Structure 1
Amino acid sequence: MTALTAYKVLTADQMALLETGSFAGAPIDLADGYIHLSTAQQLDETVDKHFAGRADLHIAAVDLAAQGDTLKWEPSRGGQLFPHIYGPLLLETVLAYGPIERDDQGKVKLPVTG
């Protein structure tokens, strides 16, 4: 994946909704008014902080260029800039997805296409 890719962590139920074509957001997304994404560098901390102990997680690689004006980079955790989508996440803008797996060092493996 390139620098124009970010990642959305989803529960199995949320992944099923995205697979229908569009995902409006998780409860936290709906409360905040945007869909939270993480860069590859931010992903491990996001999963460990917000999804600890969950076994039903999936990850979607999102094409940021396809988000157009709905994408905004905004400061969050520790002042880091995070990508946020102000609108639904469309399946057609997802490059790859699958269950979250970790490598030998405990890092989240990024989904791959092909």
Structure 2
Amino acid sequence: MATPDSAKPTYIYKLIPSDAAPPDPLPSALPVSELDRSSGFIHLSTAKQVPNTLKRFFTNESRVYILRIPYDPIESNIKWEDPRGEAAGPRGGEGMFPHLYNDFKVGNEEVESVGVWDRKDGQSWDEALESANEWLLY
């Protein structure tokens, strides 16, 4: 399952808090978060980055939705940058995240599947994601 950090990912992921649950079926474009709008791009993570993204930005969430997005179709709109989008670097480089610059379009054409993860009281995100190993792909 693991790949070298610089290898091109098969999928990248968008994490969504429970209060912004994506509708089923997905529309052609999902609502854009305030963070994404103010940053000017859509924040995404690789499979390897998902656990730490959850630990850092979703500490008060007990449920998250994770959108699995095939990388190849959107690669031309991805820039690998630090979390703020201020410094660019190599794909998979230390602290570099995939940021999507495509007029904020993520919807049914981009998303392959939606995962839902819950964590029980006192459970860490690492524990909650143990069942995601077959779904959270590099």
More helix by share: 1
Do the aligned residues in 2 keep the contact of 1:24 with 1:30 (CA within 8 Å)? no
How many positions carry a matched residue from both structures?
Answer: 111
Superposition deviation, residue 23 in structure 1: 2.1
Task: Kindly state the Cα deviation for residue 75 of structure 1 after the two structures are TM-superposed.
Answer: 2.5
Q: Is the 8 Å Cα contact of residues 27 and 107 (structure 2) preserved in structure 1?
A: no
Contact 1:60 1:95 in 2 (8 A): yes
Corresponding position: 1:95 with 2:109: no
Match of 2:95 in 1: 80
Q: What runs of 5+ residues in structure 1 fail to find an aligned partner?
A: none
| Corresponding residue number in structure 1 for 2:10 | 4
Which protein has the larger Cα radius of gyration, Structure 1 or Structure 2? 2
Q: State the identity %.
A: 25
CA distance in 1, matches of 2:48, 2:109: 24
Moved runs in structure 1, 4+ residues, more than 4 A? Answer: none
1:34-113 equivalences under 5 Å are 34-76=41-83, 79-87=94-102, 88-101=105-118, 106=127, 108=129, 109=132, 112=135
Structure 1 length as normaliser, TM-score? 0.78
Q: Match for 2:39 among 28, 32, 37? A: 32
- Does structure 2 conserve the Cα–Cα contact (< 8 Å) formed by 1:97 and 1:111? no
Q: CA RMSD in A?
A: 2.9
Distance (Å, rounded) in 2 between the aligned partners of 1:16 and 1:49: 25
Q: Which has the higher strand share?
A: 1
Give the conservation status (yes or no) of the 8 Å contact 1:22–1:89.
Answer: yes
**TM-score of the pair, normalised by structure 2:** 0.66
